[in-house]
Structure 1
Amino acid sequence: MTVNVPSRMWPALRTQGQRVSMAWDRLGDQAAFYALTAASVGTVLRRYRAELVRIVAQMSLGTGVLALVGGTVAIIGFLTLSAGALIAVQGYHSLSNIGIEALTGFVSAYLNVRLIAPLIAGVGLAATIGAGATAQLGAMRINEEIDALEVIGIHSVAYLASSRLIAGIIVVVPLYSIAVLMSFFAARFGTTAVYGQSRGVYDHYFDTFLNPMDLVWSSLTVVVMAFVIMLVHTYYGFTATGGPAGVGEAVGRAVRASLVTSVVVVLGLTLAIYGQSPDINLSG
Structure 2
Amino acid sequence: MVLGRIHESFVTAGRILVMGAAVLKFLFTDVLRGRFHWKETVAQAWFVVSVAVVPTLLVAIPFGVIVSIQIGSLAQQLGATSFVGAANGLGVIRQGAPIVVALLMAGAVGSAICSDLGARTIREEIDALEALGISPVQRLVVPRVLAATSVAVLLCGIVAFVGVITGFIFNVTAQGGTPGSYISSFAAFAQPADLVLAELKSALFGILVSLIACYKGLTAQGGPKGVADAVNASVVLSVVLLFAVNVVITELFAVFVPQRLG
Length-normalised TM-score, structure 2:
0.90
Does 2:26 correspond to 1:40?
yes
Q: CA deviation at 1:43?
A: 5.3
- 1:117 is aligned to 97
Cα distance in structure 1, aligned partners of 2:17 and 2:192 = 36
Aligned equivalents of 1:24, 1:201: Cα separation in 2: 51
- Alignment-derived partner of residue 253 in structure 1: 233
Query: Which of residues 151, 155, 166 in structure 1 aligns to 2:135?
Result: 155
Q: Distance in 2 between matches of 1:103 and 1:148?
A: 60
Corresponding position: 1:238 with 2:227: no
- Quick check: 1:117–1:179 contact (8 Å CA) kept in 2? yes
Query: Over aligned residue pairs, what C-alpha RMSD do you find?
Result: 2.0
Aligned to 1:270: 250
Partner residue of 1:65?
none
Counterpart CA distance in 1 for 2:5 and 2:192 is 48
5+ residue gaps, structure 1: 1-14, 63-70
Mark the runs of 5 or more structure 2 residues left unpaired by the alignment: none
Post-superposition offset of 1:209? 1.6
Pairwise CA distance, 1:30: 3.1
Determine if contact 1:229/1:261 at 8 Å carries over to the other structure: no
CA-to-aligned-CA distance 1:247-269 (integer Å, 9 cap, x gap): 11111111111111111222111
Identical aligned residues as a percent: 25
- Aligned counterpart in structure 2 of residue 146 of structure 1, from 115, 126, 130: 126
Q: Which amino acid aligns with 2:44?
A: I
Structure (1 or 2) with the larger CA radius of gyration: 1
Q: Which amino acid aligns with 1:155?
A: S
Q: Deviations over 1:228-284 (max 9, x none)?
A: 1111111111111111111111111111111111112221111112224574444xx
What are the superposed Cα offsets for residues 198-224 of structure 1, whole Å, 9 maximum, x if unpaired? 122212212222212211222112111
Q: Any conservation in 2 of the 1:211–1:281 contact (CA below 8 Å)?
A: no
Which of the numbers 167, 170, 176 marks the counterpart of 1:190? 170
| 1:79-158 alignment, distance < 5 Å | 79-158=59-138
1:251 alignment partner AA: V
Residue of structure 2 aligned with 1:54, choices 43, 47, 65:
43
- Whether contact under 8 Å (2:191, 2:260) holds in the other structure is no
Query: Is the 8 Å Cα contact of residues 41 and 143 (structure 2) preserved in structure 1?
Result: yes
**Counterpart-to-counterpart distance in 2, 1:209 and 1:24:** 42
Q: Distance in 1 between matches of 2:12 and 2:180?
A: 56
Q: TM-score, normalised by structure 1?
A: 0.84
Q: Does 1:77 align with 2:57?
A: yes
Specify the code of the residue in structure 1 equivalent to 2:73. H
Count of aligned residue pairs for this structure pair: 259
The residue type paired with residue 113 of structure 1 is I
Instruction: Give a deviation string over 1:72-100, Cα, whole Å, max 9, x none.
Output: 11211221222211111101111111222
Over 3 Å counting, the alpha-carbon distance change for 1:148 and 1:178 in structure 2 is same
Residue of 189, 193, 212 corresponding to 1:213: 193
CA distance in structure 2 between the aligned counterparts of 1:238 and 1:281, rounded to whole angstroms = 49
